[in-house]
Amino acid sequence: MKRLLVLGIVVVIVLGALPVFGAYPERPITIICPWAAGGGTDRITRALALELSEILGVPVGVTNVTGGAGVVGHTAGAQAAPDGYTLTMVTLDICLLHWQGLTDLTYEAFEPIALVNADYSAITVRADSPWKTYEDLHAYIKEHPGKLLASGSGAGTIWDLARAGWLLTAGFGVNDVGWVPTTGAAPSLQELIAGGVDIVTCSLAEAIPVIESGEAKCLAFMGPERHPSYPDVPTLRELGIPWEAGTWRGLGAPKGTPPEIIKVLEAAVAKAVQSQRFVDFMQKNGFGIRFLTAQDFGKFMADEDKKWGEVLRQAGFAKP
């Protein structure tokens, strides 16, 4: 009897020393957004958080942790406790920053949960440009290397790299179309309309206003398939140039987060991106929905890291 009593006490002590896990989640979740409030990443993160709050049954808030071209926010997210209560809206920049020597942090610091968004670049020119098709533009570049100028954002940023990758894949030199750096897509499109540049390679979503106004036209799309709003615009891949480029956003958790928590979050995100409210928000604002599971998102980031590392190296932006 005494031995049973002692054994019972030991069992109680041991069980009391072990962490007790309830059904996840049990308390509010925070998603770190590495970019400023009001921007595309912030708006998508908040729309997703709203859906996740209802699906998971706990508040899901968004905290903007900005600075260092995305380094500060991604680092804060990677260094959070791996308990499922601090997540990060991981962006394409995680596959650029370390190549540029801005941080040692890579996509491997995160457990992938799901990709939720991708917005692809396009080749946009003025409506009154002499090029009716992409083939016309391609022939002109071939005959007049270095004469045309493009823009879309700052030097070495995604839309500059979209240009560089397109040119290299098409068999041109990286400077066969020059680059005019700006602070973003909007001023670049203004330069296009004003005649300061000949091509803009920002996302098609960002170029829609000037296309719809009749001031510009899109010659080619850098996505894996034609844009649903512009079914007559061919992809570069269709034109024999196997190149895709765009920005993307996906949910990640700190390395070491238990797989059972990742599965709960993955399922919740899969449901969230199908909700009518989220779909309407994305369509209204020109954002593309692209969902990938945790496993596929992990492979996607590995492929993106390799691809952009090579482009950065060839374009002269990679640090030794």
Q: What is the structure's pLDDT at 236?
A: 98
Residue (of 295, 288, 247) closest to 95 by Cα position:
247
DSSP at 157: S
Equal fold, 30-119+246-315 vs 122-221: yes
DSSP at 107: G
Q: Which CATH number is 122-221 given?
A: 3.40.190.10
User: Bridge partners of 120?
Assistant: 246
Domain ranges of the chain: 30-119+246-315, 122-221
Burial of 72 (0-12, 13-18, 19+ CB in 10 A): middle
Q: What is the structure's pLDDT at 103?
A: 95
If you count them, how many residues does the chain have?
320
Q: How far apart are CA 121 and CA 112, in angstroms?
A: 24
Under a CB-based contact definition with an 8 Å cutoff, are residues 224 and 238 in contact?
no
| Residue whose entry in the numeric block shows the structure tokens 């209560």 | 85
Count the neighbouring beta carbons within 10 Å of the beta carbon of residue 38.
Answer: 8
Interval 36-80: pLDDT, tens:
888 888 999 999 999 999 999 999 999 999 988 899 999 999 999
Q: Which residue has the higher pLDDT, 228 or 306?
A: 306
Interval 92-135: pLDDT, tens:
999 999 999 999 999 999 999 999 999 999 999 999 999 999 99
Global confidence as pTM: 0.82
Provide the sign of the torsion angle of the four alpha carbons 309, 312, 316, 320, taken in this order: negative
DSSP at 148: E
* Cis before 25 (ω within 30): yes
Q: Which CATH number is 30-119+246-315 given?
A: 3.40.190.150
